Amino acid sequence: MATPEKAAAVAELTDKFRSSNAAVLTEYRGLTVAQLKTLRRSLGENAQYAVVKNTLTKIAANEAGITLDDQLFAGPTAVAFVTGDPVESAKGLRDFAKDNPNLVIKGGVLDGKAMSADEIKKLADLESREVLLSKLAGAFKGKQSQAAQLFQALPSKLVRTVDALRAKQDEQGGAE
């Protein structure tokens, strides 16, 4: 590393890798400035999309303790650093790539583990964290309701059985 500018760039990228939940490496060759601006907006508020130098990014990833395949650093590279929900950003990248085939998802990192491009596309197919949590809460609520109905049914069945026995005893007592 010859210059202080490069050292500062590596330090900044290292911090971004460490502070991000996920990072997705893409190739942006052929995209216009306007398209890149649209892409940045589609990623959501919790993601930063930055064009990076391959060598400096590779050094920064290594310093952050992340091992990435060298093939991810072929060609022009940009990285989406995600600090929020990685599913939302993965969906934004996937949807933008459908409309703009010049954007190629190369791979990335999720919670410190390397991911292939296919794994990132599968991540994009997941529902958001909030939707999954609400479904889980609904399932728990449904099970609680079933348990409450079951516990309520036992005493009421017992009361009906006792009433039926009394009625039967009254009939037998009145018949004699």
- What's the pLDDT tens digit per position in 102-131? 888 888 888 888 888 888 888 877 776 677
- The count of structural domains within the chain is 2
Residue whose C-alpha is closest to residue 82's, from 56, 104, 50: 50
Token pair in block for residue 33: 């400035």
Structural domain for 21, as ranges: 4-126
Model pLDDT, residue 174: 60
Whether the pLDDT of residue 51 is over 60: the answer is: yes
Whether 12 and 51 share a structural domain: yes
Domain shared by 149 and 79, yes or no: no
Question: Which residues, 6+ apart, have CB-to-CB distance to 21 below 8 Å?
Answer: 82, 83, 84, 86, 110, 111
| 23 sits in which H/E element | strand 22-27
Statement to judge: residues 120 and 134 lie in one domain: no
- pLDDT tens, residue by residue, 23-49: 999 988 888 888 888 888 888 788 888
Beta bridge partners, 48, equal 81
Model pLDDT for residues 143-155, shown as the tens digit of each residue? 777 777 777 777 7
State pLDDT tens for residues 53-65.
Answer: 888 988 888 888 8
Please tell me the predicted confidence (pLDDT) of residue 72. 84
Q: How far apart are CA 146 and CA 79, in angstroms?
A: 48
From the centroid of its chain, how far is CA 151?
Answer: 38
Task: List the CATH number of the domain containing 40.
Answer: 3.30.70.1730
Closest CA to 109 of 62, 175, 46, 146: 62
Answer yes or no: do 100 and 134 share one domain.
no
Judgement on whether residues 8 and 94 belong to the same structural domain of the protein: yes
Query: 84 with 136, same domain?
Result: no
Same domain, residue pair 30 and 80? yes
Tokens matching residue 47: 């993601």
Indicate whether 134 and 86 sit together in one domain. no
DSSP 8-class letter at 83: S
159 in the same domain as 97: no
Regarding whether 95 and 17 lie in a shared domain, the answer is yes
Shared-domain flag, residues 13 and 100: yes
CA angle (88, 138, 130) in 5-degree steps: 15
Same domain, 50 and 121: yes
